[in-house]
Amino acid sequence: MKQIILFSEEEIEIINKLRETLKLQGRIDELEQIENNLTSLQQLASSISLYPSILEDQYLGSVKRSAETLVYSLCREEQLDLRFHMPTKALLGNAFLIAKINFFFMLFYVLMEIPELKLLYGKLKDIINKIVFTLMAEEVFLSIIEDKNLDKEIKIKAGYLLANIWEYRLDHGVKEFAPILITIWRARGALTPIFGTMLGFSELFKLTEYIEPSFFEFLQRDELSDEEVESIEEFIFGLCYEETVKIRDEMSRLNKYVISKKDVERIIGDNRIYPEYDISDPRELYRSFSDRKSNAKFRAKSSLSGPHKTIEEYLMCYLLQKMDLISTGINYR
């Protein structure tokens, strides 16, 4: 039986510092709430850990189950709904991560009222970011597996990475991707779209202050597709592909080469597809990704123009293609 790792050492350190401070300050009610939530998380983790290991071989009569058979089941072409082929441990583990996010936000709100612990604010925000990233990575891997047009080898790699996430509920197998994606999300948070020529040059230049070299490699590929470029534009401008087309058509009609934010608002009106996201809240990253993913899936199913994946998915496919799972220590056959 594989035990889910309830908290990392860094998480335990923050939790204990807050508990000690609350005890010294006599804030018993808040301390009791934290203790109750800790107990609930511990019980949930223990319950999940009772389910069979996802990575080890299991036998039900003459039927063998393993990481290999799970990945094959997930990646087969006639798949109808992945949820019916996902281990119960995986489904409950997803809820466990959301419970951890809620728990750490509770700690964050308490921390905000304790000035002497203000150095922990950033650390706690980073921890929440990592958990949100793991949830997003899980969604990206599932999208890759569901895509019938992708190379089977990429889907198999995504399947093994998923199995490792489900087994440990940490960023095991995901940390290789974290730097490039987290930095572009942070860069987007610091970026105010200028629009201008609607080519995104100034915005991309601004991104270069933050992003990893791997992103440049991705952009400089000879095989970079129009859809990948369009997914980057959605990410940079915070506009859906259809709105960008509408704006460019209007610029062409008016014979304008530069456009302002006020002009953009006038052309789009109040019915903007993607809302303004509060990038200071890590959960908004997930919301942004989900919105763009929903639109991309609709375009793909309807054979419409525009990106059929998010920039996160395109990037992950690129990184998976280059990645050697054996060198990462991932259980891969």
Structural element, H or E, at residue 201 = helix 201-207
Residue 132, pLDDT score: 87
Vertex 138 angle, CA 135 and 144, to 5°: 145
- Tell me the pLDDT tens digit for each residue of 106-115: 999 999 889 8
**Separation of alpha carbons 154 and 185, rounded Å:** 24
DSSP for 212-277, written as a single string: -HHHHHHHT-TT--HHHHHHHHHHHHS--HHHHHHHHHHHHHHT-S-B-HHHHHHHHTT--SSPPP
Using 50, 70 and 90 to split pLDDT, how confident is the model at 201? Answer: very low
d(CA 305, CA 252): 19
User: CB count, 10 Å around CB of 316?
Assistant: 27
Residue 25 scores a pLDDT above 80: yes
Separation CA 95–CA 100 (nearest Å): 9
Domain boundaries, the chain: 9-129, 178-325
The band of 206, judged by pLDDT with boundaries at 50, 70 and 90, is: low
Mean of the pLDDT values across residues 271-287?
A: 80
